[in-house]
Amino acid sequence: QAERTGFSQFRSMIDSIPYFRDKFRRDERLNSVLKFPDNVRFMYGSDASQCIGMNMIASILDEANFFSESTKVGEEAYSKVIELHSKILNRQKSRFKNGSADNSLSILVSSTTYASSYTQKRIEAVKNDSTALVVNVRIFEVKPKGTFSDTKFYVFLGDEKIEPFIIDTVSILNSSLGLELDESLTPEEVIDKVPPQYRTLIDAVPIDFYDQYKSNLILAIQDISGYSVAPQGRLFTARALFN
């Protein structure tokens, strides 16, 4: 999977860059490993044991929220990614940390899933770390202007107490959040009147994606809005309905 996705794309990028063609050329007889001069190598794997004995200065752990074997689910899969990432970080820091300076680089990449996911917990853990950078991008924000419609619809992303929902009418806002907004207005006209604690959980999405949200709201929030929904594994997901 690593070869089919990230590694082959990275190899193509390297081969297209003049510096790596003229100044720091890789051994083109090898494709499973990018072997450069001065014993610099870029390779892929799925286990920390595959880099035993190597001085790992940088790493990319891709799709960390989905890192599991076919027989490993739930807590077991979660423990596996924690163990793998910890071993990677320890190996890098043991080689390239000098006093307070850490000269290694660790990149963690994944689509969003649940608020209990590994990447979400890592984001929480490093929020006060000046050496960490958190980047959250959505497809409709990075594509060129004109790719998607300027017409938007609104989605409440949900929290631990309230289920996500599409804001088709003001009455849905009122009944779901306990508000008293003017129901003769459109959702767009009243969004700025929603209390701040709820306003931050409302996402404006191009109308192009409406069918995806209507079909599978949770999946669309994760994949398109890039938002980690409330923790997975609760018996009752809507506290208001339960009450």
Quote the CA–CA distance of 63 and 37 in Å, as a whole number.
30
Rounded to two decimals, what is the model's pTM? 0.66
Torsion, CA 48, CA 54, CA 60, CA 61, rounded to 10: 0
The percent of residues above 70 in pLDDT, for the chain, comes to 85
pLDDT confidence tier of residue 233, bands split at 50, 70 and 90: low
pLDDT in tens, 206-225: 999 999 999 999 889 988 99
Other Cβ atoms closer than 10 A to 10 = 15
The pLDDT confidence band at residue 204, using thresholds 50, 70 and 90, is very high
φ/ψ of 80, rounded to 5, equals -65, -45
How many Å apart are CA 100 and CA 103, to the nearest integer? 10
Given this model, what pLDDT does residue 71 score? 40
Asked whether 59 and 107 are in contact (CB, 8 A), the reply is yes
| Gap between the Cα atoms of 39 and 117, Å rounded | 36
Q: Which pLDDT score is estimated for 70?
A: 40
Asked if 191 and 197 count as a contact pair (C-beta separation under 8 A), the reply is: no
Instruction: Identify the CA nearest to 173 among candidates 160, 231, 188, 151.
Output: 188
What type of residue is 230? A
pLDDT in tens, 125-170: 898 988 899 998 888 999 999 999 999 999 999 887 788 999 999 9
**Cα distances (Å, whole numbers) of residue 3 to 62, 125, 176:** 12, 30, 46
101 pLDDT higher than 90: no
pLDDT of res. 199: 93
Q: What is the pLDDT of residue 14?
A: 95
What tens digit of pLDDT does each residue of 17-50 get?
999 999 999 999 998 899 999 999 998 887 777 7
69 band by pLDDT with thresholds 50, 70 and 90:
very low
- To the nearest 10°, the Cα dihedral for 72, 1, 217, 141? 140
